[in-house]
């Protein structure tokens, strides 16, 4: 199959846009070239180019195209319009199933001709998060000025131009030429194939694979750090970003001036990362090391001393700014900043950060009793939790919210539990973060998230589709993890109700507040599915169940999963479904068939045995549920397997005798009702 290579060479593409651009290029090529059956598609992204290679058929085969026109009895004008549109006479049409039909032959089209036809429009509508216009004479946009287009089919240029009749398309047309590294190997390189393009650029100091650049960065930095007995602070996001900034990664280590080593390590790391894309290092004991790492896009002619000294000089200036904020912020206590929160808007419908803080203080007092934490410390932590938003350091580095509040609280002499809670109340931020376990920290984290969810749902700001601008799904997952990993027994409905009582009057009865328990339940199912557990078991025990105690729900779901993994559990599931299906069908005829069965009407031992087992199992299940001995409840239910199997093997439910039939249906109804106490087995997959 012929090989197609497309390279779009431009000025520097923002790192955050490169991966998506590569994916979009493959998607659009797949759609446009679908008649050529593309396979083995690969994308390449970098600071100055996005590219793709793929194999495809040599030709779009010819075909017969049928277009249906008006009905046979349609007005003559309709038929005239159809023939005029297609430039044919009525003689070219045939009647098929009461319609006039035009059949025409489309000749085969070579791959190069098809590509040349499709590519200009594809490039003009290429999606970028932000794009720009440049030069004169064209309305074509690109993320940055587009300079070259390589389009080769089996080494031959596929000729097309971006110009149209009234648009010069920036005078862009295809060629077989690209460029190497801007500084290390400037100049033009001829391209003959994807492999030669990749190898030739590598020789000209360009790594076309983002993964190769990431590996070079990680390996190079770790090697330098290890030579000094240090380690790089892991930061996959920064590695990805730097890989989008350099074509030929060259790692270096620099020295941090000792006068800045008393700054909080988080301040140094965030300052280096945000401002300069530097990597932090740490000693073997985990403490911050007086070194930093960075990646250059050139190979210095000296040993790199000039590059290193220049970056050290820049970092000194950055750290001097950080020290200014660090010293200035500590001149004012967090307690003295509380009133300033009333001047910061939280949300137009929800008031200020001060109002939010007061809601959190109230919630913290309520939660303290439930969690078993000192109420006074929880209220103090909530009162001070948002005050670092008024500091210069957080104004400069919003990523340090909470972290700086913890440092400033310790400086102010606040209780250690309060300072710890302030620093931890935003965690967990993501699935890889540890969950706070200190009681005051747990209370503050829950108060923050319960207020956030309640407030934004009341304000009509609930997530929709993939949009979640306020991070409410993340907040819900934070609540779930705080509860699960600390084994907390909380009534979520009650807590959401209590949180809503403190909202501004018009929002306290907002209709969307009723959606909050289900919102948490959906996030819980997502988390369970992510962990590889059976989310259908959780769904089965949640149907018609108003219980929102997450620990209890998960314990029930796990007990159900354990039972279903046994042979008795699988057979009981099948028999219960069979009973439910029989009842559903018969209820449509003359149901519902409810009420207690009459033991005097039983004619077969199998009926009596099932009834007797139900008489024993039902109270045992109820008692086990009351005591939260869910495994015992499932074992009791599993004992129904044998009498239920024998019942279905030997008993005809729809007996000719109406009274006997009704009694047997009541027996099945009682069975299904009892099993519904355990779970809705229709939710179980498989």
CA distance 684 to 537: 6
pLDDT score, position 488: 95
Whether residues 589 and 672 share a domain: the answer is yes
In this structure, are residues 294 and 251 in contact, taking their beta carbons and an 8 Å threshold?
yes
Would you say residue 105 has pLDDT above 80? no
pLDDT tens digits, residue range 186-233? 999 999 999 999 999 999 999 999 999 999 999 999 999 999 999 999
pLDDT score, position 417: 98
pLDDT band of residue 329 (cuts 50, 70, 90) is very high
The answer to whether residue 686 sits within a structural domain is no
Whether residues 594 and 632 share a domain: the answer is yes
Whether residues 86 and 218 share a domain: the answer is no
pLDDT tens digits, residue range 604-614? 999 999 999 99
* 686: nearest Cα among 557, 535, 555, 543: 535
Residue carrying structure tokens 């109420």: 375
In this structure, are residues 36 and 261 in contact, taking their beta carbons and an 8 Å threshold?
no
The answer to whether residue 621 sits within a structural domain is yes
Domain end call among 279, 309, 330: 330
In this structure, are residues 270 and 262 in contact, taking their beta carbons and an 8 Å threshold?
no
pLDDT band of residue 675 (cuts 50, 70, 90) is confident
pLDDT tens digits, residue range 540-550? 888 777 788 89
The answer to whether residue 242 sits within a structural domain is yes
pLDDT tens digits, residue range 483-500? 999 999 999 999 999 999
Whether residues 387 and 514 share a domain: the answer is yes
What integer best gives the mean pLDDT of the chain?
A: 93
CATH at 623: 1.10.730.10
Would you say residue 615 has pLDDT above 70? yes
Give strand pairing partners of 142: 132
pLDDT score, position 28: 97
Whether residues 611 and 668 share a domain: the answer is yes
Count CA within 13 A, CB hemisphere, residue 125: 8
Task: Domain of residue 428: give its range.
Answer: 334-532
The answer to whether residue 537 sits within a structural domain is no
pLDDT tens digits, residue range 513-550? 999 999 999 999 888 888 887 888 888 888 777 788 89
Token code pair at residue 537 = 């078991």
Whether residues 592 and 510 share a domain: the answer is no
Whether residues 497 and 352 share a domain: the answer is yes
pLDDT band of residue 686 (cuts 50, 70, 90) is low
- CA end-to-end distance (rounded Å), the chain: 43
The answer to whether residue 157 sits within a structural domain is yes
Whether residues 460 and 524 share a domain: the answer is yes
The answer to whether residue 150 sits within a structural domain is yes
Whether residues 232 and 301 share a domain: the answer is yes
Domain end call among 147, 177, 204: 204
pLDDT: is 62 or 147 the higher one? 147
List of residues 6+ apart from 485 with CB closer than 8 A: 435, 437
The answer to whether residue 374 sits within a structural domain is yes
The answer to whether residue 147 sits within a structural domain is yes
pLDDT tens digits, residue range 382-440? 999 999 999 999 999 999 999 999 999 999 999 999 999 999 999 999 888 899 999 99
pLDDT tens digits, residue range 110-155? 999 999 999 999 999 999 999 999 998 899 999 999 999 999 999 9
List of residues 6+ apart from 625 with CB closer than 8 A: 633, 677
This prediction has a pTM of 0.81
Whether residues 433 and 419 share a domain: the answer is yes
CA distance 240 to 226: 21
Could you give the number of structural domains in the chain? Answer: 5
Mean pLDDT within 347-355: 95
pLDDT band of residue 292 (cuts 50, 70, 90) is very high
Whether residues 54 and 73 share a domain: the answer is no
Would you say residue 455 has pLDDT above 70? yes
pLDDT score, position 62: 80
């Amino acid at each position: 199959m012929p090989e197609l290579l497309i390279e779009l060479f431009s000025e520097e593409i923002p790192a955050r846009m490169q991966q998506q651009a590569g994916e979009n290029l493959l998607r659009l090529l797949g759609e446009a070239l679908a008649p050529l059956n593309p396979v083995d598609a690969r994308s390449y992204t970098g600071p100055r180019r996005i590219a793709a290679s793929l194999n495809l058929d040599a030709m779009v085969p010819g075909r017969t195209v049928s277009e249906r026109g008006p009905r046979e009895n349609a007005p003559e004008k309709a038929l005239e319009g159809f023939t005029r549109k297609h430039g044919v006479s009525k003689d070219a049409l045939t009647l098929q199933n009461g319609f006039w039909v035009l059949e025409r032959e489309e000749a085969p089209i070579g791959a190069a001709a098809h590509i040349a036809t499709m590519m200009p429009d594809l490039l003009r509508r290429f999606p970028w998060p932000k794009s720009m216009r440049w030069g004169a004479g064209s309305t074509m946009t690109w993320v940055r000025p587009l300079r070259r287009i390589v389009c080769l089919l089996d080494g031959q240029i596929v000729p097309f131009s971006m110009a149209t009749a009234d648009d010069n398309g920036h005078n862009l047309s295809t060629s077989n030429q690209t460029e190497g590294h801007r500084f290390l190997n400037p100049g033009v390189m001829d391209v003959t194939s994807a492999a030669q393009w990749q190898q030739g650029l590598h020789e000209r100091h360009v790594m076309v694979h983002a993964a190769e650049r990431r590996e070079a960065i990680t390996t190079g930095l770790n090697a330098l750090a290890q030579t000094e007995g240090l380690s790089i602070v892991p930061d996959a996001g920064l590695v990805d970003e730097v890989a989008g900034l350099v074509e030929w990664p060259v790692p270096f280590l620099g020295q941090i001036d000792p006068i800045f080593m008393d700054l909080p390590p988080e301040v140094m790391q965030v300052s280096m990362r945000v401002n300069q894309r530097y990597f932090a290092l740490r000693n073997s004991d985990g403490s911050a090391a007086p070194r930093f790492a960075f990646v250059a896009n050139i190979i210095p002619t000296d040993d790199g001393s000039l590059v290193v000294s220049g970056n050290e000089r820049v970092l000194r200036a950055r750290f001097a700014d950080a020290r200014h904020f660090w010293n200035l912020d500590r001149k004012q206590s967090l307690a003295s900043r509380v009133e300033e929160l009333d001047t910061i808007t939280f949300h137009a419908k929800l008031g200020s950060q001060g109002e939010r803080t007061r809601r959190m203080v109230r919630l913290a007092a309520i939660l303290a009793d439930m969690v078993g934490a000192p109420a006074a410390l929880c209220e103090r932590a909530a009162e001070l939790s948002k005050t670092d938003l008024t500091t210069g350091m957080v104004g400069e580095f919003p990523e340090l919210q909470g972290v700086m509040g913890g440092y400033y609280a310790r400086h102010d002499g606040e209780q250690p539990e309060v300072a710890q809670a302030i620093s931890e109340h935003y965690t967990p931020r993501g699935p890889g973060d540890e969950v706070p376990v200190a009681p005051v920290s747990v209370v503050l984290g829950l108060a923050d998230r319960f207020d956030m969810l309640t407030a934004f749902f009341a304000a009509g700001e609930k997530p929709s589709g993939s949009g979640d601008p306020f991070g409410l799904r993340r907040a819900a997952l934070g609540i779930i993890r705080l509860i699960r990993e600390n084994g907390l027994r909380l009534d979520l409905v009650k807590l959401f109700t209590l949180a809503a009582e403190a909202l501004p009057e018009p929002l306290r009865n907002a209709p969307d507040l009723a959606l909050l328990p289900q919102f948490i339940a959906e996030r819980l199912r997502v988390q369970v599915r992510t962990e590889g557990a059976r989310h259908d078991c959780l769904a089965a025990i949640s149907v018609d169940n108003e219980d929102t105690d997450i620990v209890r729900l998960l314990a029930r779901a796990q007990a159900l999963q354990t039972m279903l993994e046994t042979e008795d559990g699988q057979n009981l599931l099948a028999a219960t479904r069979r009973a439910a299906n029989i009842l559903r069908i018969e209820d449509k005829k003359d149901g519902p068939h409810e009420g207690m069965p009459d033991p005097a009407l039983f004619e077969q031992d199998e009926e009596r045995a099932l009834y007797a087992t139900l008489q024993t199992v039902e109270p045992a299940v109820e008692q086990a549920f009351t005591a939260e001995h869910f495994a015992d409840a499932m074992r009791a239910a599993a004992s129904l397997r044998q009498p239920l199997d024998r019942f279905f093997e030997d008993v005809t439910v729809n007996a000719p005798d109406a009274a006997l039939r009704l009694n047997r249906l009541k027996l099945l109804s009682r069975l299904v009702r009892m099993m519904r106490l355990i779970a809705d087995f229709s939710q179980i997959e498989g």
